[in-house]
Structure 1
Amino acid sequence: MKASLQAKMGQSITLTPQLLQSIRLLQVTSLQLEQELQLVMERNPLLEQEVEDDEVAPPASPEEIAALDAAAWDELPEPMFLSGGAHGGDGDDDATARIAAGESSDPRQRLLAQLQLRCGARELAMAAYWLDCCDDRGYLEGDPDTVARLGTAALADGGITATRAQMLTLRERLLLDGEWPGMTAAGPVECLLAQLRALPDSEARTLAMRILADHLEPLARHDLTALAAQLPAAAEAVAAAVSLILSLQPHPVEQPPELEPAFIIPDVIAWRAAGGWQVRLNSRSSPRLRLCAYAEQASGHEGMRGLLEEARWLLRSLGIRNETLLKTARVLVTRQQAFLDQGEEAIAPLTLKEVAEEIGVHESTISRITTGKYIQTPRGTLELKRLFAVRLEGADVSGAAIKAMVRRLIEDEPAHAPLADEVIAGMLARQGIRVARRTVAKYREQLAIAPARQRRRASATPRVRRG
Structure 2
Amino acid sequence: MKASLQAKMGQSMTLTPQLLQSIRLLQVTSLQLEQELLQVLERNPLLEQEPEDDDAPASTDAEAAAQEAAAWDELPEPMFLSGGSYAGDPDDDPTARIAAGESSDPRQRLLQQLQLRCGPRELAIAAWWLDACDDRGYLEAEPGALVARGSRELAEALPGVGADELLGVRQHLLLEGEWPGMAAADPRECLLAQLQALPDHPARALALRLVDAHLDLLARHDLAALAARLQAAPVDVEAAVSLVLSLQPHPVEQPPEPEPAFIVPDVITWRADGGWQVRLNGRSAPRLRLCAYAEQASGHEGMRSLLEEARWLLRSLGIRNETLLKTARVLVARQQAFLEQGEEAIAPLTLKEVAEEIGVHESTVSRITTGKYIQTPRGTLELKRLFAVRLEGAEVSGAAIKAMVRRLIEAEPAHAPLADEVIAAMLARQGIRVARRTVAKYREQLCIAPARVRRRERAPAPVVRLG
8 Å contact kept, 2:31–2:285: no
Secondary structure at 2:299's aligned position in 1?
Answer: coil
> In structure 2, do the counterparts of structure 1 residues 370 and 463 end up closer, same or farther at CA, with 3 Å as the change threshold?
farther
**Contact residue 50 and residue 288 of structure 1 kept, 8 A:** yes
The residue that corresponds to 2:287 in the other structure is 288
Conserved 8 A contact 2:344-2:401: yes
Match for 1:418: what amino acid?
P
CA distance in 2, matches of 1:4, 1:422: 78
Between Structure 1 and Structure 2, whose CA radius of gyration is higher?
1
Q: Distance in 2 between matches of 1:31 and 1:275?
A: 33
In the superposition, relative to structure 1, how do residues 8 and 414 fare at CA in structure 2: closer, same or farther (>3 Å)?
A: farther
How far apart are the structure 2 equivalents of 1:10 and 1:400? Answer: 48
Rounded to whole Å, the distance in 2 between the matches of 1:430 and 1:9 is 65
Residues 398, 6 of structure 1: alpha-carbon distance in 2 compared, 3 angstrom cutoff: farther
In structure 2, stretches of 5+ residues that fail to align are 56-87, 101-257
Q: Take 1:418 and 1:289, find their aligned partners in 2: how far apart are those partners?
A: 59
Instruction: Identify if the C-alpha distance between structure 1 residues 463 and 341 changes in structure 2 by more than 3 Å, giving closer, same or farther.
Output: farther
Deviation at 1:260, TM superposition (A): 7.0
How many Å apart are 1:48 and its aligned residue?
A: 0.7
Equivalent pairs, count: 271
Q: Deviation at 1:5?
A: 8.3
Going from structure 1 to structure 2, the CA distance change for 1:455 and 1:16 (only over 3 Å counts) comes to same
Matches within 5 A, 1:218-367: 261-367=260-366
SS in 1 for 2:375: strand
Alignment-derived partner of residue 156 in structure 1: none
**Counterpart Cα distance in 2 of 1:463 and 1:48:** 75
Shift of 1:388: 0.2
1:29 partnered with 2:29:
yes
Which whole-Å deviations, capped at 9, do the CAs of 1:131-187 have from their partners, x for residues lacking one? xxxxxxxxxxxxxxxxxxxxxxxxxxxxxxxxxxxxxxxxxxxxxxxxxxxxxxxxx
Structure 1 residue 347 displacement after superposition: 0.1
User: Structure 1 unaligned runs (5+)?
Assistant: 56-223, 226-234, 248-258
The aligned residue for residue 449 of structure 1 is 448
2:295 counterpart SS class:
helix
Shift of 1:53: 2.9
Aligned residue for 1:436? Answer: 435
2:271 is paired with a residue of what secondary structure? strand
- How far off is 1:279 after superposition? 0.5
Give how far 1:16 is off. Answer: 2.2
Equivalent in the alignment of 2:40: 40
Q: CA deviation at 1:263?
A: 1.8
Give deviations 1:333-384, integer Å, cap 9, x for gaps: 0000000000000000000000001001110110000010000000100000
Shift of 1:281: 0.5
The one-letter amino acid paired with 1:436 is A
**Whole-angstrom CA distance in 1 between matches of 2:54 and 2:454:** 51
Residue 279 of structure 1 aligns to a residue whose secondary structure is strand
Aligned match of 1:19: 19
The residue number in structure 1 matching 2:218 is: none
- Superposition TM-score, scaled by structure 1 size: 0.54
Contact 1:349/1:397 (8 A) holds in 2: yes
Tell me the percent identity. Answer: 87
Separation (CA, whole Å) in 1 of partners of 2:46 and 2:19: 21
- Where does structure 1 differ by over 2 angstroms across 4 or more consecutive aligned residues? 1-16, 52-55, 461-465
Aligned equivalent of 1:184: none
CA positional deviation for 1:17? 1.7
Q: Which residue of 2 aligns with 1:390?
A: 389
For 2:385, the aligned partner's letter is R
Q: Which residue of 2 aligns with 1:152?
A: none
Pairwise mapping of residues 19-418 of structure 1 onto structure 2 (< 5 A)? 19-53=19-53, 261-418=260-417
TM normalised by structure 2 equals 0.54
